[in-house]
Structure 1
Amino acid sequence: MRRIRIMMRIFFVSEKGRSVQKSRLFQTVLVAAMAWGGLGVQAQAVDATAVAKHYAVLVHANYTDTLAGATALQQAVTAFTASPSADTLAAARKAWLAARETYGQTEAFRFYAGPIDDKNGPEGRLNSWPLDEAYIDSVKGKPNAGIINNPKIAITKQSLAALNERGGEENIAAGWHAIEFLLWGQDFSATGPGDRSFEDFVDGKAPNAKRRREYLTVVTSMLVNDLTSLVKAWTPDAKNYRANFEKAGPDALRRMLVGVGSLSRGELAGERIEVALASQNQEDEHSCFSDNTHRDIVANARGIENVWLGRYVRPDGTVLQGASLRDLVAAKDAAVAERTSTHVAASVQAAEAIPAPFDQAIIGPDTAPGRIKVQAVATALKLQSKDFVDAAQAIGIQKLTLTAKKD
């Protein structure tokens, strides 16, 4: 830690985004850790309860922002289905991409049987992949495929929820990637994303256009509903998951570390990067229809960093900063904290260097420039997953089981 002089006004930001200006007495000195390229503020020693409570602040804010993005997507989808055109389709696609930026960061809150992925959690309806396109709609060579082209299947929230993953994990009927496929269609381009025509949603221009509009409307509504449930689970001052989490002490810390460690190694480095590197197959990339996979990886890496540093930057630029795992570990083992911070920063930097589109970056020999850059992300993520195990031990958590379930 070292002291630095900040020649500017300092604002402490509450969870609701209100800023309270402090006196200039606080402008002169902050205790900061700069090794990872960010600014860590530690006004006083922190404990497990403080870290858990601030984590809950970040989770609620991140899910709230994601819900706002999904609601904007829903509005764009409503405009598109009411009047299909190239412009309204482009607006819906733009809204989907924007909402994914915040959702990707929330994946650091998974893997410990929290509200998103306990036995009743909505994760399977939200972000399941890879998706068999023919399960939903017609595809090249199969004009009559999919739920949309089967009039015997009612397009309702209940039916699509029941059909999601029925008969196989690639039988995805709902969630981000179902919406993505409907908006972009199959990707046959080596240089860009899918290019579904808006006319697929126009009566008289394509078979079952009305059912296609209904499907898109329903799955988008399902997405909003599921995200709403997550916001409620983490709402402050309520009898919900958050209330119990904040009182969990060391077990809350264990859950936090299981979340970031499992996302780092098993899910992101393993399922989302190394599987695609090994197969060199477009079907193994996360957002294969929109070519947004490179941004998915950045958002996931950033979400891990958010949890470690106790920091989250909201879409409007508001910064939430508070008691963190890093602070807690640093008080016990400064070397472990510093090493972890260095590797976490490296993974974010490496993720941001992935060339787009991802499906082209993974092609070729291991010496290909794109593959080298993608592999660098996996390497950094695996290093930091080991650091999280060491960090857990530093604060008295002797056994940290990192898991990952392919979604």
Structure 2
Amino acid sequence: MTKLFAATSILALGVASASAAADAPSKADVLNTYANIAEAKYEDSLIAAMKLQEAVDALIADPTDTALNAARAAWIAARAPYQQTEVYRFGNAIVDDWEGKVNAWPLDEGLIDYVDASYSGPTDANELAALNVIANPTFRLSGQAIDAREITPELLGDILHEADGIEANVATGYHAIEFLLWGQDLNGHSAGAGNRPYTDYVQGDDCTNGNCDRRAQYLSAATELLVSDLAWMADQWKDGGGARAALIANETAGVSAILTGMGSLSYGELAGERMRLGLMLNDPEEEQDCFSDNTHNSHYYDGLGVQNVYLGSYTRIDGTHVSGASLSDLVIASDPALDSEMKVKLANTMQALGLLKSTAEAGFTYDQMLERGNEGGELLIMGGVNGLIDQTKTIERIVITLELDQINIEGSDSLDNPNAVFH
């Protein structure tokens, strides 16, 4: 009976495998869904950024506490769709080459505006760390005189951003805007985000901290630039767009690109550089959204982006769905058990990131979690880290199962060589 049962089981598995293979989607169909979801995510990011721009315009026109809080809420809302696009990095060169314009981090905020006296000034590594372009309508850069009397998107994007080739000279994107809305978070490991007053945008005698007119110019220019950059990327994923064309030019390489993005974001970028590294250093400045204390949301939506790309299903900000043939379907056709494993691990990661998110929203903020000796915070953060590492192992197995060329997954010293972090 046992042998007959085994033979019957093998026969059944053979039939099931043949059926799964017959139902397998083409790589072209999987790539089309992937590109459609990218197009929807970047369109949602653009829509949310345009709402942020409206809120910023309202703040500048009539600065009040209410207007400042509305702009902050719009910034937080804008992060949710954008963070779900980060899974398109690493595997798509066009995204990697562009991403620094909109989401570069960390930044030397003294480049942009006033900072607390405890903030370090210019260093050998970055002479512009305390430039304060808002307070200086002219300055020298790489030996040349710069006329910054009018703060424009061109000044920020073409001249100031990553000036002198230094990545910490972040002049554009979400985090520059975040700093201008919140200011520095000077609370260390205590509760509380940045507390920039709305009067930093009031014109005339009631202006605080000086240069309110130029601060408004900078905020307006940075937000305008964010909108135009996102509009450009959304176009790249439309039919005929450069990103979509590059993806579908080689179907096997395209599927590898999906897995490269999933693995690199999961492992080196999110688990390593954004989570484990900050915990090792116990440094609240290592929070990605350090001015707003929104890091828990950014981590959560990064994880969600990995999951929805694998499943081939994305819920837009208007509640509609974009879905189709998925990487999951492709894996099912080769190894249903492996697909189940991947889905379970993705769900486990999202549960861990969801717990981190809900705990932060209940008042135990991410910078408090990072404090040395805070065992509860360490458990919450490491729950996400371990989930992300675990799902990366399955991503690597999927690459082998689908008989793809070896992919390069981004690493992090915090995971691969921890001793190097302290040297």
Following superposition, the deviation at residue 166 of structure 1 comes to 1.8
| Other-structure match for 2:366 | 358
1:399 maps onto 2:406 in alignment? yes
- Residue 20 of structure 1 corresponds to none
8 Å CA contact 2:272–2:412 kept in 1: the answer is no
Note the residue ranges of structure 2 that are not aligned, 5 or more in a row: 1-20, 122-129, 139-146, 414-423
Query: Structure 1 CA distance, aligned partners of 2:211 and 2:412?
Result: 35
After superposition, what is the alpha-carbon deviation per residue over 1:124-169, rounded to whole angstroms, capped at 9, x for unaligned? 1111111111111001117985111111151222221221122422
Question: Is 1:166 paired with 2:163?
Answer: yes
* Deviation sequence 1:70-128 (CA, Å, 0-9, x none): 0000111111111111111111111000010100100001012432223xx2x111111
Distance 1:221 1:314 in 2: 23
Q: 1:201-240 counterparts in 2 under 5 A?
A: 201-203=201-203, 204=205, 205-206=207-208, 207-236=210-239, 238-240=240-242
Write the distance in 2 (CA, Å) between the matches of 1:199 and 1:404. 43
Corresponding residue number in structure 2 for 1:156 = 152
Q: Which deviations, in whole Å up to 9, do the C-alpha atoms of 1:280-311 show, x marking residues without a partner?
A: 11110100010000000000000000111101
In structure 2, distance between residues paired with 1:151 and 1:405 = 39
Distance 1:86 1:312, change over 3 A: same
Choose from 30, 34, 43 the match for 1:55.
34
String of CA shifts for 1:352-372, please: whole Å, max 9, x gaps. Answer: 111321111121327x11110
Contact 1:56 1:246 in 2 (8 A): no
1:93-104 equivalences in 2 (<5 Å): 93-104=72-83
Task: Give the residue type in structure 1 aligned to 2:264.
Answer: S
Deviation of 1:247 (Å): 4.1
Map of 1:39 onto structure 2: none
Distance 1:386 1:146, change over 3 A: same
Shift of 1:244: 3.8
Contact 2:38–2:237 (8 Å) recurs in 1: yes
Unmatched 5+ stretches in structure 1:
1-41
| Distance 1:292-1:194 versus aligned 2 partners, 3 A rule | same
Aligned pairs (5 A) from 1:101-120: 101-118=80-97
Residue 314 of structure 1 is matched in structure 2 by: 316
Answer yes or no: is the 8 Å Cα contact 1:310–1:322 preserved in 2. yes
Secondary structure of the residue aligned to 1:117 is helix
Between 82-91 and 149-158, the greater mean CA deviation after superposition = 149-158
Shift of 1:43: 11
Q: Which residue of 1 aligns with 2:184?
A: 186
C-alpha contact 1:138 1:145 (8 A) present in aligned 2: no
The amino acid across from 2:47 in the alignment is A
* 1:201–1:145 distance in 2 versus 1, CA, 3 Å: farther
The structure 2 residue matched to 1:264, chosen from 262, 266, 275, is 266
Q: 2: CA distance between counterparts of 1:126 and 1:82? A: 25
Q: CA separation in 2, counterparts of 1:101 and 1:405?
A: 25
Given that 2:23 and 2:333 are in contact with CA atoms closer than 8 Å, whether structure 1 keeps it comes out as no
Aligned equivalents of 2:280 and 2:246: distance in 1? 42
Is contact 1:329-1:391 (8 Å) kept? Answer: yes
Aligned partner of 1:157: which letter? P
Whichever residue aligns with residue 390 of structure 2, its letter is: L
Matches within 5 A, 1:3-402: 44-118=23-97, 121=98, 123-141=99-117, 146-152=132-138, 153-154=147-148, 155-161=151-157, 162-167=159-164, 168-189=166-187, 190-203=190-203, 204=205, 205-206=207-208, 207-236=210-239, 238-354=240-356, 355-356=359-360, 357-365=365-373, 368-402=375-409
The CA deviation at 1:243 is: 3.1
Question: Alignment RMSD, CA only?
Answer: 2.0
Structure 2 counterpart SS, 1:353: helix
Q: Which is helix-richer, 1 or 2? A: 2
SS of 1:320's equivalent in the other structure is strand
Matched residue type, 2:271: A
Query: Kindly tell me: are residues 241 and 169 of structure 1, through their superposed partners in 2, closer, same or farther at Cα, counting changes over 3 Å?
Result: closer
Is the partner of 2:314 in helix, strand or coil?
strand
| Bigger Cα displacement from structure 2, 132-141 vs 64-73 | 132-141
Larger Cα Rg: Structure 1 or Structure 2?
Answer: 2
Deviations 1:216-250 (A, max 9, x none): 000001100110111110012x2533134234211
Deviation larger for 380-389 or 285-294: 380-389
Letter in 2 for 1:191: A
Does the 8 Å CA contact 2:266/2:389 hold for their aligned counterparts? yes
How far off is 1:348 after superposition?
A: 1.0
Question: How many residues end up aligned between the 2 structures?
Answer: 360
Distance 2:251 2:131 in 1: 51
- The TM-score with structure 1 as length reference comes to 0.85
Residue 389 of structure 1: CA displacement?
Answer: 1.1
The one-letter code sitting in structure 1 at the alignment partner of 2:232 is: S
* In structure 1, distance between residues paired with 2:92 and 2:254: 12
- C-alpha displacement of 1:192: 2.1
Displacement of 1:44 in angstroms is 4.0
